[in-house]
Amino acid sequence: MTAQTENILEVDNLTVYFGEFAAVKNASFSVRRGETFGIVGESGSGKSTILKAISGLADIAGGRITMGGKELNGARPKASYQDVQLVFQDPYSSLHPRHTIDRALSEPAKIHRLSDVESRVSGLLNDVGLGSMFRYRYPNQLSGGQRQRIAIARSLVLEPSLILLDEPTSALDVSVQAEILNLLKRLKKTRGLSYILVSHDISVISHMCDRIAVMNNGEIVDQVTVEQLRNLEFSSEYSRQLVRSSIEYEQAITGSRETLVSNEYG
Amino acid sequence: MNSPLVKVDGLTVGFPKKGGVINVVRNISFSIGREKVGIVGESGSGKTMTGRALLGLIRPPGVVTARELRFGDIDLQNASEKVRRSLRGNRIGMIMQDPKFSLNPVMRIGHQLAEIYIVHRNASRAAARIKALEMLEKVKIRDPERVFDAYPHQISGGMGQRVMIAMMLAPKPDFLIADEPTSALDMTVQLEVLSLIDQLVQERQMGLMFISHDLNQVAAFCDRVIVMYAGQIVETCKATELGNAKHSYTQGLLAAMPRLTKPTDTLPTFERQESWKMEPGRYDCTN
């Protein structure tokens, strides 16, 4: 059913309002099949709102979102939700505390009336590196990293082509973050997925993404490749500042420590 | 080095659980002078509990034991609650992670700040107000009059954390415990808040215990770093030497961080070794 376009998703002049407040203003970008597209920005810049608009959780006030040649707008057929799934930031609040893992994973399959729910669930648990012994546990019996693996497994139940990742590792320790990022990379390769990754952590973004949009105050101020990001090739001063501060942090640990704190803001 | 501000010897913090006591901090020893010491570790490593134990903020049924727990010349273990209370805020300040949860939501910012001068310094209301406004200016809040009359929900996270810093520093403590003071803030705001803490700590020659999970931040900001794992100290080193850490846990943490400047395809992960829990603190590279 997909027209063989290179782009899996196109966002054209998207505007989202919350009451009077324009959370996203005229944002345009496209995501190519098989790539990871990153969105960085500070809190309140509108990056999560874009994901909400794509997944149908926020109303689109202006512009269009097209996926596989079809426009996604207010009223969507059930099947359109099958193609794009969302993974949230906080693994502690995104799983129902009184539902077993089995129930959390089979629910989407049941809603969409898919067959062989059994084998899907056990296959997915293996795929995210947990194994079937986790199947009848409750979320409170799992660590944060394990929960995030479940949330990722749940997003895969319907075999979507695009997964929206909203700060998927911000609540996790660095060692667990590394495991989850590796898992996401592996799943993308084996299942031919495309991702949109939203994060405030520029190192994570640069590790995962092919192309990146920088947002500030609801607007996309820069769109660059990961190489351009590393080389600070931006058109806006805002993006350059944002990325430079991350690089300076890293240099502190990798040796050439400079008095970053005092020289810029002293 | 002159005599340390804080001396901790054999500190253990335990909580009774079904079938025994779980020690979340296990027999750790360190001292901090008038310097910036970072305490890093993953969640559950005991770093926050270490800070709270110093302030006497571990609530029952939690149990704190130590061979020595000293602040300046005061023996914290045998100090009365009255003495301990006179230390808190007055001589040891604490900045917590999220200003949203640390400020009173139904009290104007200015009144919360002025209260400090009224309580700790016996100032009059009018004098306290002037002092509070001065303090807001000191933490680089551009419009102190407006913030003074605002409620906590009316200001941003970064501004809230500045207010917290103002509050903690108002009684002029000698020692500051900052528990993840910037984790709830954006990167650029983090830098501003850090530089502010840095400047005030320098200016007043204070000691700082800086609790964080962020190795980059600690390396950039502190003089010395203590690495904790499972309630114990596994390594102590100069912040500038953190990149050359000796312990396999610290090395694992460093390697697991994605880097802008060093792209790789997969990040190295590590298995937690049982031995890390058993043999603490073999590496002390501060000397």
A183-237 pLDDT per residue, tens: 999 999 999 999 999 998 899 999 999 999 999 999 999 999 999 999 999 999 9
In B, which residues are within 8 Å of A245 by CB distance?
Answer: 187-188, 191
Cβ neighbours of residue B279 under 8 Å, at least 6 residues apart?
none
- Would the pLDDT of B69 be above 90? yes
Q: Which domains does chain A have, with CATH numbers?
A: 3-197 (3.40.50.300)
A233 interfaces chain B, CB cutoff of 8 Å:
no
Compute the average pLDDT of residues B102-112.
91
**Whole-angstrom distance, CA of residue A48 vs CA of residue A83:** 19
Residue B223: CATH number of its domain: 3.40.50.300
B208 interfaces chain A, CB cutoff of 8 Å:
no
Flag if B213 and A173 touch (Cβ within 8 Å).
yes
Q: Which of A168-182, A252-266, B109-123, B184-198 has the lowest mean pLDDT?
A: A252-266
Boundary residue ending a domain (B170, B187, B218): B170
In B, which residues are within 8 Å of A202 by CB distance?
Answer: 187, 260
- Would the pLDDT of B221 be above 50? yes
In B, which residues are within 8 Å of A230 by CB distance?
Answer: 260-261, 263
Q: How many residues does chain A have?
A: 266
Do B279 and B217 share a structural domain?
Answer: yes
φ/ψ (deg, to 5) at A50 = -60, -45
Tokens of A203: 């190192």
pTM of the model: 0.83
Compute the average pLDDT of residues A260-265.
38
Going by pLDDT thresholds of 50, 70 and 90, the confidence category of residue B284 is low
- Would the pLDDT of A98 be above 90? yes
A vs B, Cβ pairs < 8 A, gives 118
Query: Is residue B57 in a domain?
Result: yes
* Alpha-carbon gap: B220 to the closest alpha carbon of chain A (Å): 5
Do B233 and B193 share a structural domain?
Answer: yes
Do B61 and B151 share a structural domain?
Answer: no
**Whole-angstrom distance, CA of residue B194 vs CA of residue B181:** 8
Do B180 and B64 share a structural domain?
Answer: yes
In A, which residues are within 8 Å of B42 by CB distance?
Answer: 173-175
Query: Is residue B104 in a domain?
Result: yes
- pLDDT by residue (tens digit) across B130-187? 999 998 988 888 889 999 999 998 888 788 888 988 888 888 899 999 998 887 777 7
Do B276 and B240 share a structural domain?
Answer: yes
Do B164 and B33 share a structural domain?
Answer: no
Residue B222 sits in which domain range?
6-91+171-285
Do B210 and B257 share a structural domain?
Answer: yes
B19 interfaces chain A, CB cutoff of 8 Å:
no
What number is the ipTM of this complex?
0.79
Query: Is residue B1 in a domain?
Result: no
**Whole-angstrom distance, CA of residue B270 vs CA of residue B247:** 13
Q: What is residue B177's three-state secondary structure?
A: strand
* Alpha-carbon gap: A250 to the closest alpha carbon of chain B (Å): 6
Flag if A185 and B261 touch (Cβ within 8 Å).
no
Number of domains in chain B: 2
Do B128 and B81 share a structural domain?
Answer: no
Do B266 and B183 share a structural domain?
Answer: yes
- pLDDT by residue (tens digit) across A122-154? 999 998 988 888 999 999 888 888 999 999 999
Do B217 and B176 share a structural domain?
Answer: yes
Boundary residue ending a domain (B124, B153, B170): B170
Going by pLDDT thresholds of 50, 70 and 90, the confidence category of residue B270 is confident
Query: Is residue B255 in a domain?
Result: yes
Contacts by B246-253 with C-beta closer than 8 Å and gap 24+? B246/B283, B246/B285, B247/B276, B247/B282, B247/B283, B248/B273, B248/B276, B249/B273, B249/B276, B252/A175, B253/A174, B253/A175, B253/B42, B253/B215
φ/ψ (deg, to 5) at A210 = -95, -45
Cβ neighbours of residue B78 under 8 Å, at least 6 residues apart?
none
* Alpha-carbon gap: A44 to the closest alpha carbon of chain B (Å): 10
Do B278 and B178 share a structural domain?
Answer: yes
| pLDDT at residue A149, rounded to an integer | 92
Boundary residue ending a domain (B116, B141, B170): B170
Q: Which residue of B has its CA nearest to A254?
A: B243
Q: Which residue of B has its CA nearest to A239?
A: B188
